[in-house]
């Protein structure tokens, strides 16, 4: 089945926040952001701004009618700065004017006097100064202390990954509208309608039933709108509450890039121990997470880093510690993978380090240490593993040995271009690590004309979840999909939603839809049995007809639902689904936090131009554990998108904050994301159709986040190519591996000698 949005997307008819028709009298907001990363506000002058044409009000923290607090996990984040600013871009005031232009013009007239305080941008510096968001946590397996003596080889190092801008095509924004009796309706571009509702209520002081949040769809979220849509929605809701007029604020691209948090940069220390057979038997890792100025989702992100610190390998003795470090950057937040990719990069770096020092291929160590069913993760859960199945399928289907041979012979023939290859296996846990969040609700109405409407807590952000939900209803009732409509996500229809996140949205909301549809189906079958005077057990519905004992009857779908309604049988249902089995005990850091794991293996081939440091990805060949995909075109789209986003993070997307905490890469001219020219020339995706029972909807495993981590292979393929040019190259484990860093690595000082024979080239190399 096609993605149900493809038709209106292609025609430009899909409704996003900015496409909602505005009510007469709508006002426009704009934020005055802190120009400094850390300091005490000595004075704030809004007088001139208030006098500007069209300005209705300039709101500061003093206008907040509820609580000046939007911190979700830790209450450490004011909506508007009071007497201190903690990051560059922190909202200080909110101008509301008759037009967008007038609001932004007035923002420029606000004057603030700030006494600067020292700025911290480095997580290790923050940790050294005791600036932690929450206490550190440690996951342990076996006994790391006593096992080092048994190791034949031990390697240590540092690995670093930079952050990543979400760059959803639709920027953040919200539109709040007053409704009668002091209530408010908020349209928001959010992954978390309930998070927006909660934040809006907190700052206005309204109870949750007075604030209705409605979301049609997002032009991308990637985690950036799991918690950080709250700020703009809360500002609009507050202004609407105070002024009783509709207020809209949609951020410009540069405002969005400068004011919102991103993927967390990490700096980590690793120590890996292997035995004589290259089994990893000891792994000690310490993560320093750059959380930014407030907690936001950082403690949860940090937790997932620990969960994925050993990726898909079984290591019997592990100690993994993580620090969430408070710095003066915008609060960093959820981003596809949610700390998992950062954890996986470090174990892959440790393996690369070992392989390079031992002079063997990295994949030899990787393959030897893949987990198998029954192996214990450091957090106590036992693996139901497809790691070997994915690896071996990739190895044989794509001919890994042949690929490696071809790379080697290419490199023997070419002096200034070198190819590199890397294998990246992935194992990602599916469920919110916070057990309580693994619940969802669905409201299904069958109308007496035979059409069906479904509402759930799922937010459509391009990932195709609405199509999957529609498929569930159409399948259960065995009706034409055109009879089903999936409605907007709305907190009055579906309450207490978990955000659409953690790759779990389709599973949770489709399961709730399934439950609701099955209840209605049961009642419909009873009606059919009465009408036909047969036993209810003999009734089935197929292709819009009622069958009794396998024989088609005179009753079709339309007459059946109409009959049920006339007999006063309810044909609506609200259902609740909570993931069974899962739990986690934080006091011992053990449990069974995930419904299941998703596995996969990617083989990446790159060609590096060793004169210029630029590179092209020739191919990425993937075997991905689908379970049994319920929509392969959507799932393949997710894999392609995730892969390219991961490659971008690992190679070209370079966030630069200066020492003053200002974002210098604040536009698409200075922050380069993958485009059609930088995606791999060839992407092969093969679905591993595993038959194991799992908790996925129709056994179709979650697919949102895991593919991003295939992109990590890009870094290691580049490393492999650089080593082919300069075997002694000193390459820091530091991503992204931009063209600039690649060039530096190709000619790095500790090189045992340049691998260049042509005299002319030698000269140009020296002039570099
Ligand atoms: N969000 C969240 C997530 O709140 N908890 C999670 O475990 C998670 N995992 C992945 C992505 N978003
Ligand atoms: Mo996410 S990182 O699943 O919002």
pLDDT per residue as tens digits for the range 55-92 = 999 999 999 999 999 999 999 999 999 999 999 999 99
C-alpha dist (Å) from residue 146 to 138, 149, 164, 286, 727: 18, 7, 38, 18, 35
Average pLDDT, the chain: 96
Q: Look at ligand 1, atom 11, and give the residue with the nearest C-alpha.
A: 502
| Whether 28 contacts 248, CB under 8 Å | yes
Q: How far is CA 238 from the centre of its chain?
A: 28
What is the CA(592)–ligand 1 centre distance, in A?
A: 16
Q: Look at ligand 1, atom 5, and give the residue with the nearest C-alpha.
A: 432
Whole-angstrom distance, CA of residue 75 vs CA of residue 56: 31
Whole-angstrom distance, CA of residue 132 vs CA of residue 291: 9
pLDDT computed for residue 750 by the predictor = 66
- Confidence check: pLDDT of 751 > 80: no
Query: Tokens 């039933």 correspond to what residue?
Result: 209
What is the CA(250)–ligand 2 centre distance, in A?
A: 21
Secondary structure element (H or E) that encloses residue 473, with its range: helix 465-477
Q: Does any ligand 1 atom lie closer than 6 A to the CB of residue 263?
A: no
Per-residue pLDDT of 609-627, as tens digits, reads 999 999 999 999 999 999 9
- Ligand 1 atom with the shortest distance to the CA of 498: 4
Q: How far is CA 274 from the centre of its chain?
A: 33
Whole-angstrom distance, CA of residue 694 vs CA of residue 715: 32
Q: Is the dihedral of CA 478, 480, 484, 486 positive or negative?
A: positive
| Whether 184 contacts 243, CB under 8 Å | no
Burial letters 719-728, b for 16+ CB under 10 A, else e = bbbbbbbbee
What is the CA(15)–ligand 2 centre distance, in A?
A: 22
Query: Tokens 């190895």 correspond to what residue?
Result: 395
Q: Does any ligand 1 atom lie closer than 6 A to the CB of residue 334?
A: yes
Q: For residue 152, what are the contacts with CB-CB under 8 A and spacing of at least 6?
A: 274, 275, 276
Q: Which ligand is nearest to the CA of 645?
A: 2
- Ligand 1 atom with the shortest distance to the CA of 336: 11
Closest by Cα among 572, 443, 579 to 505: 579
| Whether 152 contacts 330, CB under 8 Å | no
Q: Is the dihedral of CA 375, 380, 382, 388 positive or negative?
A: negative
| Whether 269 contacts 286, CB under 8 Å | yes
Per-residue pLDDT of 328-360, as tens digits, reads 999 999 999 999 999 999 999 999 999 999 999
pLDDT computed for residue 755 by the predictor = 42
Q: Residue 629, by phi and psi: left (phi above 0), alpha (psi -120 to 50) or beta?
A: beta
What is the CA(502)–ligand 2 centre distance, in A?
A: 5
| Whether 509 contacts 467, CB under 8 Å | no
What is the CA(356)–ligand 1 centre distance, in A?
A: 34
Axis crossing angle, helix 712-725 with helix 340-358, rounded to the nearest 10: 20
- Confidence check: pLDDT of 753 > 60: no
Secondary structure element (H or E) that encloses residue 634, with its range: helix 632-651
Q: For residue 198, what are the contacts with CB-CB under 8 A and spacing of at least 6?
A: 72, 208, 230
- Confidence check: pLDDT of 756 > 60: no
Whole-angstrom distance, CA of residue 161 vs CA of residue 263: 10
Reduced to 3 states (helix: H, G, I; strand: E, B; else coil), residue 759 is helix
- Confidence check: pLDDT of 690 > 90: no
Closest by Cα among 269, 203, 270 to 230: 203
Domain with CATH 3.30.365.10 in the chain: 266-432+590-746, 439-578
Axis crossing angle, helix 712-725 with helix 632-651, rounded to the nearest 10: 50
Q: What is the mean pLDDT of residues 192-208?
A: 98
Structure tokens at 660: 């003053």
Q: What are phi and psi of 116, to 5 degrees?
A: -70, 145
pLDDT computed for residue 146 by the predictor = 95
Q: What is the secondary structure of 714-755 as a DSSP string?
A: HHHHHHHHHHHH-TT----EEE---HHHHHHHHT-TT-SS--
Q: Does any ligand 1 atom lie closer than 6 A to the CB of residue 302?
A: no
- Confidence check: pLDDT of 763 > 80: no
The percent of residues in the chain predicted with pLDDT above 90, rounded, is: 96
The pLDDT confidence band at residue 759, using thresholds 50, 70 and 90, is very low
Residue 264 gets which letter from DSSP? Answer: P
- Confidence check: pLDDT of 127 > 90: yes
Structure tokens at 554: 């005179």
| Whether 678 contacts 270, CB under 8 Å | no
Q: What class does CATH assign to 266-432+590-746?
A: alpha beta
Structure tokens at 211: 């604030």
The pLDDT confidence band at residue 423, using thresholds 50, 70 and 90, is very high
Whole-angstrom distance, CA of residue 504 vs CA of residue 463: 12
β-strand pairing of 733-735 with 153-161: parallel
Closest by Cα among 65, 42, 169, 175 to 115: 42
Q: What is the 3-state secondary structure (H, E, C) of 28-39?
A: EEEEEECCCCCE
Q: How far is CA 452 from the centre of its chain?
A: 31
Per-residue pLDDT of 576-599, as tens digits, reads 999 999 999 999 999 999 999 999
- Confidence check: pLDDT of 209 > 50: yes
The pLDDT confidence band at residue 768, using thresholds 50, 70 and 90, is very low
Q: Look at ligand 1, atom 8, and give the residue with the nearest C-alpha.
A: 502
Q: Does any ligand 2 atom lie closer than 6 A to the CB of residue 301?
A: no
Domain with CATH 3.90.1170.50 in the chain: 6-117+166-259
What is the CA(173)–ligand 2 centre distance, in A?
A: 18
Q: Does any ligand 1 atom lie closer than 6 A to the CB of residue 502?
A: yes
Whole-angstrom distance, CA of residue 443 vs CA of residue 573: 6
The pLDDT confidence band at residue 754, using thresholds 50, 70 and 90, is very low
Whole-angstrom distance, CA of residue 457 vs CA of residue 115: 45
Please identify every residue annotated as catalytic: 705
Q: For residue 115, what are the contacts with CB-CB under 8 A and spacing of at least 6?
A: 39, 40, 42
| Whether 322 contacts 300, CB under 8 Å | no
- Confidence check: pLDDT of 655 > 60: yes
Per-residue pLDDT of 439-482, as tens digits, reads 999 999 999 999 999 999 999 999 999 999 999 999 999 999 99
Per-residue pLDDT of 114-126, as tens digits, reads 999 999 999 999 9
- Confidence check: pLDDT of 269 > 70: yes
CATH superfamily of 6-117+166-259: Aldehyde oxidase/xanthine dehydrogenase, a/b hammerhead (3.90.1170.50)
- CB count within 10 Å of CB 248 equals 26
Q: Which ligand is nearest to the CA of 500?
A: 2
Q: What is the mean pLDDT of residues 405-434?
A: 98
| Whether 240 contacts 174, CB under 8 Å | no
Per-residue pLDDT of 154-169, as tens digits, reads 999 999 999 999 999 9
| Record: fold of 439-578 | Aldehyde Oxidoreductase; domain 4 (3.30.365)
- Confidence check: pLDDT of 761 > 80: no
pLDDT computed for residue 53 by the predictor = 98
pLDDT computed for residue 118 by the predictor = 98
β-strand pairing of 183-188 with 173-179: antiparallel
- Ligand 1 atom with the shortest distance to the CA of 226: 1
Q: Which ligand is nearest to the CA of 432?
A: 1
């Amino acid at each position: 089945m096609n993605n149900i949005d493809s038709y209106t997307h292609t025609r430009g008819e899909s409704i996003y926040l900015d496409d909602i028709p505005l009510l007469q009298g709508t006002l426009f907001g704009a934020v005055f952001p802190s120009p400094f990363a850390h300091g005490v506000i000595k004075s704030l002058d809004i007088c001139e701004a208030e006098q500007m044409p069209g300005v209705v009000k300039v709101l500061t923290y003093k206008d907040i009618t509820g609580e000046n607090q939007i911190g979700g996990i830790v209450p450490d984040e004011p909506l508007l700065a009071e007497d201190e600013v903690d990051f560059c871009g922190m909202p200080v005031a909110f101008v509301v004017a008759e037009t967008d232009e007038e609001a932004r013009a007035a923002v420029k007239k606000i004057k603030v006097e700030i006494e600067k305080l020292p700025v911290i941008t480095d997580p290790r510096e923050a940790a050294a100064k005791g600036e932690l968001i929450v206490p550190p946590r440690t996951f342990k397996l076996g006994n790391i202390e006593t096992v080092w003596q048994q190791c034949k080889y031990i390697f240590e190092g540092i690995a670093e990954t930079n952050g990543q801008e979400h760059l959803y095509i639709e920027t953040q924004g919200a539109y709040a509208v007053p409704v009668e009796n002091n209530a408010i309706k908020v349209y928001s571009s959010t992954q978390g309608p309930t998070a927006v509702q909660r934040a809006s209520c907190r700052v206005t002081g309204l109870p949750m039933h007075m604030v209705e949040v409605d979301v049609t769809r997002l032009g991308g979220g990637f985690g950036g709108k799991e918690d950080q849509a709250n700020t703009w929605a809360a500002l609009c809701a507050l202004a609407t509450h105070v002024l009783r007029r509709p207020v809209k604020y949609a951020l410009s691209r540069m405002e969005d890039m400068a004011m919102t948090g991103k993927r967390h940069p990490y700096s980590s220390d690793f120590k890996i121990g292997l035995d004589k057979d290259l089994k990893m038997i000891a792994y000690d890792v310490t993560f320093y997470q750059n959380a930014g100025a407030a907690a936001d989702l950082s403690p949860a992100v940090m937790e997932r880093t620990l969960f994925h610190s050993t990726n898909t390998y079984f290591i019997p003795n592990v100690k993994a510690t993580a620090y969430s470090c408070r710095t003066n950057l915008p609060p960093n937040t959820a981003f596809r993978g949610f700390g998992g990719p950062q954890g996986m990069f470090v174990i892959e770096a440790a393996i690369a380090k070992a392989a390079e020092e031992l002079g063997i291929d990295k994949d030899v160590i990787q393959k030897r240490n893949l987990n198998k069913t029954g192996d214990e993760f450091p957090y106590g859960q036992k693996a139901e593993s497809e790691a070997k199945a994915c690896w071996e399928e990739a190895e044989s289907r794509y001919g890994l040995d042949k690929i490696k041979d071809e790379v080697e012979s290419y490199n023997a023939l070419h002096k200034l271009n070198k190819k590199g290859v890397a294998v990246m296996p992935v194992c990602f846990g599916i469920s919110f690590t916070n057990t309580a969040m693994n619940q969802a609700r669905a409201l299904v109405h069958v109308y007496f004309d035979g059409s069906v409407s479904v509402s759930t807590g799922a937010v459509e952000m391009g990932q195709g979840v609405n199509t999957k939900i529609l498929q569930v209803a159409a399948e259960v009732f065995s009706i034409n999909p055109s009879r089903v409509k999936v409605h907007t996500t709305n907190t009055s229809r579906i309450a207490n939603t978990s955000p659409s996140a953690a790759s779990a949205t389709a599973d949770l909301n489709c399961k709730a839809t399934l439950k609701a549809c099955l209840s209605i189906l049961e009642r419909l079958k009873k009606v059919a049995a009465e009408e036909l005077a047969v036993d209810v057990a003999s009734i089935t519905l197929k292709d819009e007809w009622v069958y009794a004992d396998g024989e088609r009857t005179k009753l079709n779908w339309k007459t059946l639902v109409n009959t049920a309604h006339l007999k006063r049988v309810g044909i609506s249902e609200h259902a609740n689904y909570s993931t069974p089995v899962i739990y986690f005990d934080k006091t011992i850091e053990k449990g069974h936090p995930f419904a299941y794991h998703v596995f996969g293996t990617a083989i990446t081939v790159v060609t590096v131009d060793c004169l210029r440091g630029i590179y092209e990805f020739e191919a990425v060949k993937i075997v991905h554990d689908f379970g049994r995909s319920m929509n392969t075109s959507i799932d393949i789209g997710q894999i392609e998108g995730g892969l390219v986003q991961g490659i971008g993070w690992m190679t070209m997307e370079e966030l630069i904050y200066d020492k003053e905490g200002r974002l210098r890469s604040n536009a698409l001219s200075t922050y380069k994301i993958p485009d059609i020219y930088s995606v791999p020339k060839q992407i092969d995706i093969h679905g591993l159709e595993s038959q194991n029972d799992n908790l996925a909807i129709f056994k179709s495993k979650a697919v949102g986040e895991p593919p991003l981590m295939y992109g990590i292979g890009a870094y290691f393929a580049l490393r492999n190519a650089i080593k082919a040019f300069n075997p002694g190259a000193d390459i820091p484990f530091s991503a992204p591996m931009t063209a600039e860093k690649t060039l530096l690595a190709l000619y790095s000082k500790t090189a045992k000698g340049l691998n260049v024979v042509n005299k002319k080239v030698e000269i140009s190399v020296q002039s570099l």
